[in-house]
Amino acid sequence: MAETSIHRKSSGNRPNRTDKTNPPLPPPLSPRDLISALPDAVIHRIFSFLPLQDVVKTSVLSKRWRPTWTTATDLVFDGEIVARLRSTLDFPSLVDSVLIQYTSPTVKKFSVIGFEYEKTHRPKFDLWLRFAEGHRVEDLSLLLVPTTEPPTPYILPRFLYCWSWLVRLEVSVCCFSLDRTIRWPCLKILVIAISRLSDDILEGIFRGCPVLESLELWGCWGTKNMMINSTSVKELVLIGLCDSNIQTIWAPHLLSLRISGDWQPHAILRLSDVSSLVEAKLDFSIRVLTDLPCDEMMCSHMLKETLQKLRGVTTITIGAWCFQKLSLLEMEGVPVPLSICQSLTLHADITQWNLLGIAYMLRISQCLEKLVICLTGLPLSMYSLDEESEESFNYDEEDFLCSRKGKFQCLAKHLKRVEITFDNFGLERLLALIKFLLGDALALQKMIIKANLNMGHGQEHVRATILSKLLVVSQNMLSYRRASRNAEVIFSHSFK
């Protein structure tokens, strides 16, 4: 424990309390008044983490805080919180009341979130955006909740399209107009959710946002050919596009691509030119309408074509559903597109089936240096195998991995770091994988095994049993042969 010493000055150096040139210091604030001494910048920083409703409530904490909320730099109105509180004011009236009392000339962030939008609310929203325009808001969020199917969108007003100071924009259930010219010269981040788009609208966005860096589309529809010729757009995020029939994603300057969420049946996703990509994440799933092997195989081949377009990407993350489809490709012996991937993260459940997927990725990733495997104890539903496939699917894990090791070129020279995390016990298969990697990765420097175990309420009595199992796991790992003399094995555990 560190010690702290306090050095006092001698009495000769003390100020003369009777000297008129050195008036006595004011008495210290009482503990109750310390909060009043905070500078406005600190108070505003605290406010930035709170919904506006809670910011207003802070006026009871201190007399000096009473008017301070009217100069807060971030205005966040959360409709869900208002609904839970059952306020005497309805949400639009609450927003109006706050804006009327607001006194600061500038606002950095203006957000309306969780509000169930209806067409009759449009005049109110136009007025609120006029307020945001007058205060030169840089960060604007209109995250509305649809109340009908299909959703009735808020039509973005004409004056919004020429906010030259806008830096970040997030909208959901909003409508972009084709007859408006977008001029957002400072916009860097754009998020659009639950909205109808078109190729022309996206083209207008790219043309009118010369410094746009990140585009995220969530639950949108209407786009067929996503042509991103902008040299500034470096990140594209596609999350669960509805009725997606994207025939082409052409983005030669893109650096990062993330595709996730639940996609509609028969979704088509084709990458054209993504030659500059350095990072990709495939964590999506497609709802297959039947259990027919042909439908499953179609999804697997689409994933194979996607990986072929990503063969020049150095960092790849693959989610559980996609990983399951890779196992099908390995079982069918489908030829593999070789990849220069150096860092690979796999999300999977602990099953014999997923060893096939791991084998597939080790085969295609000849330059792999870092492998991260995140295992869970909740397997996805696997499609039904025919009788012949079921027979070939029965195998010994160690024998299977050893039979494939000649095809895993990354083990000979490149693989240096392995991280495996798990939250349940599938010990036989997990230990088989660990034993194989330790015994055959010649360049391995570090293997980290993390057990993040769930401890449910009232299950403390099984803690000792779990710790006993973990001890066996760690002892087994330490006894395994290591192909690399420099390999370090680190085992840790925690209870959640």
- The number of C-alpha atoms within 13 Å of 111 and in the hemisphere containing its C-beta is 24
Structure tokens at 182: 């977008």
SS3 108: coil
Pick from 77-91, 150-164, 382-396, 467-481 the range whose average pLDDT is largest: 150-164
Structure tokens at 346: 């796999």
Sheet containing 268-271, strands listed edge to edge, beginning at the edge strand earlier in sequence: 225-227, 245-250, 268-271
9 confidence band (pLDDT: 50, 70, 90): very low
In this prediction, residues 2-12 reach a mean pLDDT of 38
Q: Strand pairing partners for 113?
A: 78, 143
Task: Answer yes or no: are the C-beta atoms of 166 and 184 closer than 8 Å.
Answer: yes
Residue 118, Cα to own-chain centre: how many angstroms? 30
Residue with tokens 């088989």: 432
184 confidence band (pLDDT: 50, 70, 90): very high
In this prediction, residues 12-20 reach a mean pLDDT of 46
424-481: per-residue pLDDT in tens? 655 667 788 899 999 999 999 999 998 887 766 666 667 777 788 788 878 888 889 9
Task: Answer yes or no: are the C-beta atoms of 342 and 314 closer than 8 Å.
Answer: yes
In this prediction, residues 124-145 reach a mean pLDDT of 97
Task: Answer yes or no: are the C-beta atoms of 155 and 178 closer than 8 Å.
Answer: no
pTM score over 0.75: yes
In this prediction, residues 138-163 reach a mean pLDDT of 94
Instruction: Pick the closest to residue 269 from 234, 228, 298, 292 (CA basis).
Output: 298
In this prediction, residues 28-39 reach a mean pLDDT of 56
Q: How far apart are CA 393 and CA 352, in angstroms?
A: 9
SS3 130: helix
Task: Answer yes or no: are the C-beta atoms of 268 and 245 closer than 8 Å.
Answer: yes
Is 248's pLDDT higher than 70? yes
Q: Which residue has the higher pLDDT, 477 or 169?
A: 169
Q: How far apart are CA 200 and CA 218, in angstroms?
A: 18
Structure tokens at 282: 């495939």
Give me the chain's average pLDDT, please: 81
In this prediction, residues 56-61 reach a mean pLDDT of 56
**Cβ-based neighbours of 463, under 8 Å, separated by 6 or more:** 455, 495
Nearest 5°: CA angle at 206, between 202 and 209?
130
Is 6's pLDDT higher than 50? no
- The number of C-alpha atoms within 13 Å of 466 and in the hemisphere containing its C-beta is 18
Integer Rg of the chain from CA: 29
269-301: per-residue pLDDT in tens? 789 999 999 999 999 888 766 665 566 677 788
Q: Is the peptide bond before 146 cis (omega within 30 degrees of 0)?
A: no
